[in-house]
Amino acid sequence: MEKYSQFRDRGSGIAPFFPVPTHPSGVSFPFHFFLFVCRLPILLTVALSYFTFLQWLSIGSLGKKACLWLILGVPGVWWIDLQIDGVKKGQVSSGYEHHHPTRLPQPFSVIASSYTSPIDSIYLAAIFDPIFTASYPSTRLVHRISLFQALLRAFSTPQTHPPPNAPLTELATLMAAHPKRIVVIFPECTTTNGRGILPFSQSLLAAPPTAKIFPVSLRYTPGDITTPVPRSYLTFLWNLLSKPTHCIRVRIAESVYNTSKTTPISKSSYTTNFLDTLQAEDLASSSSETLPSSDDGDSLGSEERKVLDRVAEALARLGRVKRVGLGVREKADFVKAWSRPRKR
């Protein structure tokens, strides 16, 4: 693995793009194979039925969520460990969300979610029925996508730029057009193995200043159903369907506001001095671990950097991981190296 050492974070040694090893089945292989053979046709039937015609029928939000929970239930994804910042476990299980809804994402709010597996999108859709978007490190605009497209993106190669002719829009514009919906953003722009938080896209900075941004961390046990390597369809299906059960560890942080839009910084010869210039240079020389992904994006002000840092630090804390300096471009290089013929 020495040839892949460049794809480890220099500060922490974390490798966020390596696939999580699967525990050998051993003598349990016949049982795991039996589960896989039995579940595969059921999962394909349910998933194809939903994405081909059920989602277009007038079955209501509850009907769609029931179908999505059925998709999750077939492979045994029914253990959900939910914790909300500032709320005790007992209060969550006793229906806390009905008494204190401000702790959970509500209409006209943003979910900044971790991105490790196709299950992320299905779970979020089953709970919140949100609008999904795709972010890119080269622009602050977002691309509205469907749930099925969000699933496929978990298996796709990392993209630093949006596809040609992609219908891009500002996050604030999208939310204004759908004020009764929640919007999901995957600010890391690509999937990881859940062991680190990548630099963020700047798309979160287009959120309205009055909208709440909820960092949401999703982690899995076993962790081998993550898809950091593109096109790992068969490996994902085997790891998903051959295990008796899976647990999702869901953590929701307190909301963050986009304060960069409420306190714009304007500089002129009358309002800046030499010390201000030195402070700005110090901020610009921060380590890559704290910088958002901005290959071709706009330069960041100090308040904009603070907003992204607050969300990223919350995701790292919720997932009990560290932030890393590797981004979408590094993952694209990793995928090229990983795809070459090699001896692992």
The string of DSSP letters for 65-108 reads HHHHHHHHHTTTEEEEEEEETT--HHHHHTTHHHH-GGGS--SS
Question: Shortest CA distance to 290 belongs to which of 264, 271, 309?
Answer: 309
Least confident of 118-127, 208-217, 296-305, 329-338: 296-305
Nearest 10 degrees: Cα torsion 25, 236, 6, 317: -90
Per-residue confidence band for 11, with pLDDT thresholds at 50, 70 and 90: confident
pLDDT at 290: 41
Diameter of the chain by CA atoms? 76
Reported confidence tier of residue 299, pLDDT bands at 50, 70, 90: confident
pLDDT above 90 coverage of the chain, percent: 70
**Is the confidence at residue 37, as pLDDT, over 70?**
yes
Partners of 252 in beta bridges:
84, 216
Q: Look at residue 218 and tell me whether its pLDDT is greater than 70.
A: yes
Tokens of 155: 């298996």
Which residues are CB-contacts of 245 (< 8 A; sequence separation ≥ 6)? Answer: 76, 77, 78, 79
Q: What is the DSSP letter of 220?
A: E
State the pLDDT at residue 223.
93
Region 185-192: what's the mean pLDDT?
A: 96
pLDDT digits (tens, 9 = 90+) for 230-241: 999 999 999 999
Q: Regarding predicted confidence, which is higher, 308 or 290?
A: 308
Interacting residues of 208 by C-beta distance below 8 A, sequence separation 6+:
171, 172, 175, 176, 258, 261
Question: DSSP alpha helices (H): ranges in the chain?
Answer: 29-52, 60-73, 89-93, 96-99, 118-128, 147-153, 171-177, 233-241, 274-284, 302-319, 328-339
Contacts of 258 (CB under 8 A, 6+ apart): 204, 205, 207, 208, 209, 211, 213, 307
**Can you tell me the distance from the alpha carbon of 88 to that of 96, in angstroms, rounded to the nearest whole number?**
9
- Asked if pLDDT for residue 18 goes beyond 80, the answer is yes
Higher pLDDT, 99 or 241: 241
Mention every residue, 6+ apart, whose C-beta is less than 8 A from residue 87: 96, 100, 103
Average pLDDT rounded to a whole number, residues 63-73: 95
Instruction: State pTM to two decimals.
Output: 0.86
Distance CA 43, CA 66 (A): 14
Q: By percentage, how much of the chain surpasses pLDDT 70?
A: 83
What is residue 91's predicted lDDT score, i.e. its pLDDT?
A: 61
